[in-house]
Amino acid sequence: MNPDKAITVETIVNAPLEKVWESWVKPEHITRWTFASDDWEAPEAQNDIRVGGKFKTVMAAKDKSAGFDFTGEYTNVREHSLIEYTITGGREVKIEFLPEGSGVKVVETFEMENENSRELQQSGWQAILENFKKYTEKNYRQ
């Protein structure tokens, strides 16, 4: 990953590591949190979480005005610890799951694309990560 193009977002999820992992990788959970704002949704997700496995998340505006498929292939998977993948088109992503107190610190580093500003990309990925936190904590109260 080119360090000049890397952006990192992170959050702490107050839920057990196994539940955080499950929320991140199971399609029935992915569709519930993978969007940056309430006017978007993820109506479909497929996920083969293994090295060489592929994933696809359909992301769409609720009013049907826009949408796209977020796709890629896993390059490194360590259960409950690390996920690395390449987005279709070549950008790299790394997600670390780090136990911290009674929760899990999720650190996501991704290579920025060239169409949108660094700030817009960082705020969009952070918003999705915050949706993940909110969804996971709500569903897995300790």
Please check the confidence at residue 118 and state whether its pLDDT lies above 60.
Answer: yes
Q: Is the pTM of this model over 0.85?
A: yes
Give every strand in the sheet of 103-111, ordered side by side: 6-13, 103-111, 92-100, 82-87, 67-78, 54-61, 40-47
Residue 133 CB contacts under 8 Å (≥ 6 apart), including other chains? 11, 12, 13, 106
Question: 65-105, pLDDT tens digit by residue?
Answer: 999 999 999 999 999 999 999 999 899 999 999 999 989 99
pLDDT interval class at 2 (50, 70, 90): confident
Confidence of residue 44 (pLDDT cuts 50, 70, 90): very high
Average pLDDT of 120-131? 95
Residue 28's pLDDT is 96
Helix, strand counts (H, E) of the chain: 3, 7
The structural domains of the chain, with segments of one domain joined by +, span: 3-139
Q: Which of 133, 85, 132, 131 is nearest to 111 (CA)?
A: 85
| Token duo for residue 2 | 């080119």
Could you please state the CATH topology (level 3) that the domain comprising 3-139 is classified under.
Answer: Alpha-D-Glucose-1,6-Bisphosphate; Chain A, domain 4 (3.30.530)
- Alpha-carbon distance of 96 to 109, in angstroms, equals 9
